[in-house]
Amino acid sequence: MPETRLFPEYFRNRSTFCRQISNLIHYPVHNLAADLMKYLGQPDYDHANPERMGILIANLGTPDAPQTAEVRRYLAQFLSDPRIIELPRWLWRMILHGIILRIRPKRSAEAYRSVWSDTEGSPLLSISRKQTAALQSALQQRLGDNVVTVLGMRYGSPSMDEAIAELERQHVRRMLVLPMYPQYSGTTTASVFDEVTNRLQRTRWIPETRFINQYVDEEKYIKALAASVRKSWSENGQADLLVTSYHGIPKRYLLNGDPYHCQCHKTTRLLREELGIAEDKIKVVFQSRVGREPWLQPYCDETMKQLPKQGVKSIDIMCPGFSADCLETIEEINEENREYFEHAGGENFNYIPCLNDSPDIIDGLADLLVRHAQGWPEADHPEQDRSAEYQARKQEEVALREREPVNT
C-alpha cells in the first residue's frame, strides 16, 4: 500500500501534522512536570530574625579533584550548557558524549594536577573563597552586620543552588548577584543569570534580586590593573610589549551581538590610558580556542610564536578578564604559552598575576556592590535598629498560626 494512503494528512501538510504529533507527545509531559513541581520553601522561617541583604559572588567553577572521573563530571556539566556551545542539542550530545568526554577528561586532569595545591586544592576555588571573605569584611565595615556574602560556582561546587540555599538560611530577603567576569559575555555572565533564575523559578518565596552585568570600565578596576602592572615593572623592569590576554569565544557569537570582544578592547584601552603608554606598547590577544571554527583573533598561541620573529624579545603578559588565577592563566599562559614564546626565540616572558584578592580590587568591588544596593535598607540606613519591627512580625506570625492551620 502506498505511504500516501497510510498517512494522507502528513503528505498534505507536513508541518501541521508534525506540530500536532509534537503537541500530543510533549504537552501532557509538560503539564505533568508542572503538577509534580515541588517549590522550595522556608517553613521554619522566623520573622523575629532581622532580614538581611545577601551578596552572591559567582564564578565559573572547578572539578572537585584533579582526577579523570571528577574532571569528566565537571566537563559534562560545563559543556552541556547551551550558552557555551550553540549547536543543536541532539548533535552536540552525540559529539560530547561520543567523543569529547571519552578523550578530554584524562588530558585535562593532567593539566589540573599541575596547578593543584596539596593544601588549598583548586587555585580558582581557593582564591574565590578568599575574595568572598574579603568582600564580606569590606561590606561589613561599610554596611554593618545585616549583609552576608556567599560563593556560588556556575559548574561544580559550591553550586548556585547551595549558595542560594545558604542565603535563605541567613534570612536574606534582598539578593545582589556579582558574576566575577569584568567583561560581559553570553557564555559567562548570562549563563550565571540562567542558573540563578532557574533556582529562583523553583523557589516559593523569591528574594528581591538585582544582577550586576559587568564592571569593565569601573575606575578602581582599571586602577587596580594598572597598579599590578606598575608593581611588576618596578620589580622586573618594563618589557618591550604588554600583552593583555582574554579568554576567546567563537567569532560568530560576536557577529550575533555578543559585546564581549568590544569590552575586552575597552578594558585594554582604559588600562593603556591609565598607564600612559603608546598604542604600540600594548596588544590584545585571545586564548583557549577549541574546534575548527574561527574564534576571536589574534590568537594568543600564534601571537607568541610570531612576536620574537617581529623583534619583540621581552613581554609582560596579563589576563584582565580573569578575576582569579586558574588553569587558563597558570598552566595555559604561564607554562604553555611561555614555551611557545621562548621556543620561537623570546628571551623574557613575565606573567603578571590576576588581581585575585588584592586590597585594590576588593575595595573597588565593595564600592560597586554598595552602589548597586542603593535603595535597600541595608545600604541606605545600615545603622538603623529594626529589631522592634521584626519582633512585631513574629508576634503576628504566632497569632496567625494559632488561628489558622499551617499551610504545608
Specify if 328 maps to a domain: yes
Cβ atoms of 304 and 341 closer than 8 Å: yes
Output DSSP code: residue 281. Answer: G
User: What is 32-50 written as a DSSP string?
Assistant: HHHHH---B--TT--TTSP
CA distances (Å), origin 35, targets 41, 43, 67, 199, 315:
17, 21, 40, 18, 60
pLDDT at 407 over 60: no
Please check whether residue 6 lies inside any domain of the structure: no
Mean pLDDT, rounded, for 12-25: 47
CA–CA separation, 9 vs 389, rounded Å?
67
pLDDT tens digits for range 262-293: 999 999 999 999 999 999 999 999 999 988 89
Q: What is the mean pLDDT of residues 87-97?
A: 94
CA-CA-CA-CA dihedral for 393, 399, 400, 404, to nearest 10: 160
Q: Which pLDDT score is estimated for 54?
A: 98
Of 8-12, 317-321, 378-382, which range is least confident?
A: 8-12
Res. 43 pLDDT band, cuts 50 70 90: confident
pLDDT of residue 10: 39
Give yes or no for a contact between 333 and 319, defined as CB atoms under 8 angstroms apart.
yes
> Tens digits of per-residue pLDDT, 397-406?
556 666 765 5
The CA dihedral of 201, 202, 206, 208, to the nearest 10 degrees, is -40
Domain boundary among 76, 111, 146: 111
Q: Over 60: is that where the pLDDT of 23 sits?
A: no
pLDDT exceeds cutoff 70 at 20: no
Per-residue confidence band for 46, with pLDDT thresholds at 50, 70 and 90: confident
- Cis amide linkage into residue 405, ω under 30° from 0: no
* pLDDT surpassing 80 at residue 24: no
Note the pTM of the prediction, 2 decimals.
Answer: 0.85
* pLDDT at residue 366 is higher than 60: yes
Average pLDDT of the residues in 130-139:
98
* Helix, strand, or coil (residue 310): helix
pLDDT at position 383 is: 66
Residue 280 belongs to a domain with what CATH number? 3.40.50.1400
Q: What is the C-alpha to C-alpha distance for residues 139 and 152, in angstroms, rounded to an integer?
A: 18
3-class SS shares of the chain: helix, strand, coil, % to 5: 55, 15, 30
With cell 581557593, the residue in question is 126
Banded model confidence at residue 388, pLDDT cuts 50, 70, 90: low
Radius of gyration, CA atoms only, the chain: 25
Question: Confidence band (pLDDT; 50, 70, 90) for 7?
Answer: very low
User: Which residue in 406, 407, 386, 403 sits closest to 47, CA to CA?
Assistant: 386
> By the 8 A CB rule, do 109 and 17 touch?
no
According to DSSP, the β-strands at 282-287 and 348-351 are: unpaired
CA separation for the pair 326, 343 (Å, rounded): 24
Residue 85 lies in a domain: yes
Percent of the chain with pLDDT over 70: 85
Provide the residue range defining the domain that includes 97.
68-111
307 DSSP assignment: G
Q: Under DSSP, is residue 209 helix (H, G, I), strand (E, B) or coil? A: strand
> Rounded distance, CA 182 to CA 216, Å?
5
What digits encode the pLDDT tens for the residues 306-349?
999 999 999 999 999 999 999 999 999 999 999 999 999 999 99
Q: Tell me, yes or no, whether 289 lies in a domain.
A: yes
Which of 325, 351, 377 delimits the end of a domain? 351
Domain assignment present for residue 322? The answer is yes
Distance of CA 395 to the CA centre of its chain: 42
Q: Which residue has the cell 560563593?
A: 151
What are the C-alpha distances in Å from 220 to residues 262, 353, 367?
20, 17, 9
> What mean pLDDT is reported for the chain?
89
- Using CA of residue 178, residue 363, residue 247, residue 62, what is the dihedral sign? negative
The H or E element that residue 108 is part of is: helix 101-115
For 71, the grid coordinates are: 574532571
| 245 contacts 317 by C-beta, under 8 angstroms | yes
Sorting pLDDT into bands at 50, 70 and 90, what band is 2? very low
Query: What is the torsion angle, in degrees rounded to the nearest 10, for the CA atoms of residue 333, residue 131, residue 40 and residue 192?
Result: -40
Domain stop point among 46, 80, 111: 111
Alpha helices by DSSP H, listed for 116-218, are 123-143, 160-169, 189-201
Residue 98 lies in a domain: yes
**In angstroms, rounded to a whole number, what is the distance separating the alpha carbons of residues 207 and 203?**
9
Q: What does the pLDDT look like over 217-255, one tens digit per residue? A: 999 999 999 999 999 999 999 999 999 999 999 999 999
Residue 164 domain flag:
no
Asked, for residue 24, whether it belongs to a domain, the answer is: no
- Mean pLDDT of all residues in 53-79: 97
Q: How many domains is the chain partitioned into structurally?
A: 2
